[in-house]
Amino acid sequence: MGCLLSTGPDPGDEPRIVVAADASAVAALAADRIALTLGDAVAARGRADWATTGGSAPAGIYRRLVVPPLFEAVPWADIHVWWGDDRYVPRDDPLSNVKPLDDILLGGHPPVPLPLANRHPFPTTQAIRDGRGAGWCAAALADELRAAGLEDVDGWPVLDLMLLGIGGDGHLLSVFPGSAALDSPDLALAIPAPTHIEPQVERVTLNPAMVGVARAVLVVAYGPDKAAILAEILGADRDPRRLPAQLARRPGATWILDAAAGAGLRR
């Protein structure tokens, strides 16, 4: 289903790169990896904390998780789901990063048995309804993360798994090239609406430092429009300020790409 690529002279310092045939194969491999990682975390610590993503990346993965055998394999009652970032829109808006999970995992027949108390989206709907602003929204999620009592490294909560997509400009989460988030001590931040990439709406995001301390990182990317930026991100030059996605280019990470997205990589 996939083949492995090494992206550096010492694979121990690099993520594992898997190139699969197409987007469907990427989703299948990613769903299997998520189910295994979450199950192992629950077995080891009694719960699993997973930060998921939005955009085009998760829908195919969710469709795999909502049917057998993964539906039964994942210990849903012990999973806590967070979001790495979101657009500052209500959760039922088509731009929301929460909506795909609501529609596919929680809207399935039957829905996955993920307890309400274990779902931790950025409270965008409440913030917008009450006119509190994106800064309040980010701070509220940060408070919730701190209250979860997770292990921390250098003050950053350690998640068991972060699922990430890659932006066409090399961003990850809602951390764009040159973002002030790269120097912020805040656990979660409001991000002004980007002007160089769609959708041009305000964002909220976890601090990218959390990518560095997560127990496992899984990056997925599809399509020929990602080939050029992935070749840069996984190339010889490292500059996370210019290409924040390079923060996920770390040991213990797995990148799963389809053949079109991985076309520019050196095999």
Query: Is pLDDT of 11 > 80?
Result: no
Instruction: Establish if 267 belongs to a structural domain.
Output: no
The reported pLDDT for the residue numbered 12 is 65
pLDDT, one tens digit per residue, over 208-221 is 999 999 999 999 99
- Give the pTM: 0.94
pLDDT, one tens digit per residue, over 120-131 is 999 999 999 999
Instruction: Establish if 37 belongs to a structural domain.
Output: yes
- 251 is written with which tokens? 């040991």
- pLDDT confidence bin for 266, thresholds 50/70/90: low
Euclidean distance between CA atoms 172 and 182, whole angstroms: 11
> Which candidate, 118, 107, 110, places its Cα nearest to that of 78?
118
Query: Is pLDDT of 117 > 70?
Result: yes
Instruction: Establish if 265 belongs to a structural domain.
Output: no
Instruction: Establish if 120 belongs to a structural domain.
Output: yes
Instruction: Establish if 266 belongs to a structural domain.
Output: no
pLDDT, one tens digit per residue, over 175-196 is 999 999 999 999 999 999 999 9
Instruction: Establish if 263 belongs to a structural domain.
Output: no
- 20 is written with which tokens? 């699969």
Quote the number of domains for the chain: 1
Q: Which domain range does residue 181 map to?
A: 2-258
Instruction: Establish if 264 belongs to a structural domain.
Output: no
Burial label, 61 (beta-carbon count in 10 A; 0-12, 13-18, 19+): buried
Instruction: Establish if 7 belongs to a structural domain.
Output: yes
Which residues face 220 on adjacent strands? 256
Euclidean distance between CA atoms 76 and 159, whole angstroms: 16
As a whole number, mean pLDDT of residues 4-10 equals 38
| Residue 173: CATH number of its domain | 3.40.50.1360
Q: What percent of the chain has pLDDT over 90?
A: 91
